[in-house]
Structures are given as C-alpha cells and as structure tokens.
Amino acid sequence: MKQPITTGITLRVVADAVGVNLAILLAMTVRFWEVSWMSHGTPASTFSRAIFASLVETYLYSASILTPLILIVFYLSGFYTRGRAIWGAIDRL
C-alpha cells in the first residue's frame, strides 16, 4: 500500500537534498582553499580562477548524480515512509 506524500516527507526529502549539496560544497570549498594556499610561483588570480572553474564543474557534476542517488537510496530503505514507525517502536521500549 502506497503512503501519501505528506508535508513531513517533503520536508525530509528537501532537508536531505540540501544536506547532500552542502556537504559537497563544503568539500569543494576546503579543496579550493587547500589548493589556493599551495600555489607557489603561479599568479594567484589566474591559478585560482582555473581551480575555481574546475571545482564548480565538479560540483555540478557530483550534485547532479549524488542528490538523486541519495534520495532514491533513502526512499528504497524506507527512511521517508517507515522512519516514524521505527521511532514509535523505539519509544515504546
């Protein structure tokens, strides 16, 4: 039996999508900062622009694959539909 899409489910899906994208952005930011500090002997502005463009491209590629993948895995594992039932069972222990 299919469960209707509720506001709670929608909020959890959006929160997971935002969380995945923030994690990717944080990783890209740390990498940009790390590589920018290691650019000895190279004009910083040219080097930084090239690295930044590369990381933006990588982010867009990664986010377009990981966001739907994570949401599908969470859905198939029952995270959005059965999660509340599991917490109810834990509360009764």
**What backbone torsions phi and psi does residue 78 show, to the nearest 5 degrees?**
85, 15
Contact 58, 64 (CB under 8 A): no
Cα angle vertex 12, ends 11, 13, to 5°? Answer: 90
Distance CA 50, CA 87 (A): 48
Structure tokens at 44: 């910083």
> Residue 82's Cα: distance from chain center in Å?
22
pLDDT tens string 33-62: 777 776 655 555 666 778 888 888 999 999
Confidence category of residue 91, pLDDT binned at 50, 70, 90: very low
The residues spanned by each domain of the chain are 8-86
**Residue 25 pLDDT grade (very low, low, confident, very high; cuts 50, 70, 90):** very high
CA separation for the pair 56, 41 (Å, rounded): 24
